[in-house]
Structure 1
Amino acid sequence: MSAYTKLACALCLAAATVAGPSFAQDAQGAHISIELNALEPIEGACRISFLVQNGHPTDIEQAVYEAVLFDTEGRVDRLTLFDFGALPSARPRVRQFTLTGLACAGLGRLLVNGAETCTGDGIPAAACTDGLELRSRTDVEVLG
């Protein structure tokens, strides 16, 4: 490897190190990620826990998503709204919702239909849906 090539590699490595997370965010694009993290059966209900991350450079004052819950047979059980509240920029938040009359074992899929509300200073309404990243740490599939 020539001295010039070594210098070029060192400069590229230094630039990547300095750019760090902001470079990664620019390459990936600002978005919201929602992870279905846990399901907990409680008396006559199911507690659903989500891990949410706002990847936008500014805070979101309120994010409300419309969701459709399907049973294990693929039938619609209910439509509901999940109000995730305020989502500070670049900080993970856990939000829990208790759904009465729902058995956790009977939940097969969760479909995020879209954002009912998405507000914040300088935040366009589409900020909560463009590039929305969905995943699950449970056996329940999450779609969007």
Structure 2
Amino acid sequence: MKMTGCLWAAAAGSLIMGAAMAVADETEIGRNVSVELNAAKSGETGCMLSFVVINGHPGRIDRAVYETVLFDAAGQVDRLTLFDFGALHPGRPRVRQFSISGMSCEGLGQILINGAHSCTSQDLNEDACEAGLDLRTRTQIEVMG
């Protein structure tokens, strides 16, 4: 009977440990920066890109600037530029817009986030802007990184 009690205790301990590990894994999910290309609209001066950005980290990012490569519809590099997403508070969606002069949105084929040009935060590590960067699009323009 003591052996059964020991097995029960071991099984219960394993279940508790497994549940604790699952909770720990859940808290790590989403600890990244999510960048979604939400809209692309052509205007008189060029293409206006609208991004929805969410800082999934527990701390504030004071400034997030990404080196970005724009490819034309034929797949050739059109330009290399910096997108400054500014300050990102934890868990608060922010919309940032960038005007791409001299290019229609129809002429834009892909956007490559080459990496974080700068990422400043008093609360987070230097790689907070790049670690697990989540890229999405709601447009015909592919976003990759």
TM interval, shorter chain, is 0.7 to 0.9
- In structure 2, the gaps of 5 or more residues are 1-15
Partners of 1:89 and 1:43 in 2: how far apart? Answer: 35
**Structure 1 residue 99: deviation in Å?**
1.2
1:141 aligns with 2:134: no
**Structure 1 residue 29: deviation in Å?**
4.6
The structure with the largest alpha-carbon Rg is 2
**Structure 1 residue 76: deviation in Å?**
0.2
Which residue in 1 is equivalent to 2:46? 45
Please give the per-residue CA displacement for 1:32-55, whole angstroms capped at 9, x wherever unaligned. 000000001110211000000000
Please give the per-residue CA displacement for 1:74-122, whole angstroms capped at 9, x wherever unaligned. 0000000000000000100000011111111000000000001101112
* Contact 2:65 2:83 (C-alpha < 8 Å) held by counterparts: yes
**Structure 1 residue 56: deviation in Å?**
0.3
Partners of 1:45 and 1:122 in 2: how far apart? Answer: 37
Q: State the TM-score, normalized to the length of structure 2.
A: 0.81
Partners of 2:36 and 2:25 in 1: how far apart? Answer: 23
Q: State the TM-score, normalized to the length of structure 1.
A: 0.82
1:96 aligns with 2:111: no
Partners of 1:33 and 1:122 in 2: how far apart? Answer: 18
CA RMSD after TM alignment: 2.0
Moved over 6 A (4+): none
